[in-house]
Amino acid sequence: MKSILRKVARAARHLLAKFAGSLLRVLWPQYMSGGNVHDPNMVLGAWFRQKMLRRNGRVSWPVHRTTEVRAPERIQRGSRTPGLSAGCYLDGRNGIILGPNVWIGPHVSLISMNHDAINYEKYLLADPIRIDQDCWLGQGATVLPSVHLGPHTVVGAGAVVTKSFPSGNQLIGGNPARFIKNLPPYEN
């Protein structure tokens, strides 16, 4: 009996893998119409967790099961899927604008809203976080409210970005983040 159940489960997984892309175009048309290239089985798992189990249910793109997204309607995601790496925290309450080809590593935090220092129950309004095209945020990096990162800015792992670096083609890192060196232009 167990061998029959294993064969049925294997056949079901095979069929699901074969038709996952088509199934996702029906289940998640808003995301799939963007020409996304992620593994359909991974996207189907994210769809199930988000749309059926309601973990990050308001997010219109797939995110990792350990990622938390606040105010996803205020996040412009560019051409990639922010939060697909493990353990990310995306707080879009003041807005997050991501350009095309922005790579976000695991455990990255984009925090667009902060508490008032004299009344912790109040939040401060600020400009949105803006990250231009071809940027890469290394593991554990934190970007704070109103920061603007110019095109092709690489943020080192564990960096805490407290101010803007709009010039681009640069490597930044540290706590607080500082300019480390210039980079050649990004190659497609």
Phi, psi at 115, each rounded to 5°: -75, 155
Amino acid at 89: Y
Q: Which of 38, 115, 148, 152 is catalytic?
A: 115
Strand partners, 136: 103, 154
- CA-angle at 108, arms to 158 and 42, nearest 5°: 135
Distance CA 79, CA 57 (A): 20
Query: Is 14 a known active-site residue?
Result: no
3-state helix, strand, coil in the chain (%, to 5): 25, 25, 50
Alpha helices in 28-118 (DSSP H): 29-32, 40-47
Give the burial string for 44-68 (b: 16+ CB within 10 Å, else e): bebbebbeeeebbeebebbbbeebb
Short-list 184, 179, 52, 161, CA closest to 108: 161
Q: Which residues are catalytic?
A: 115
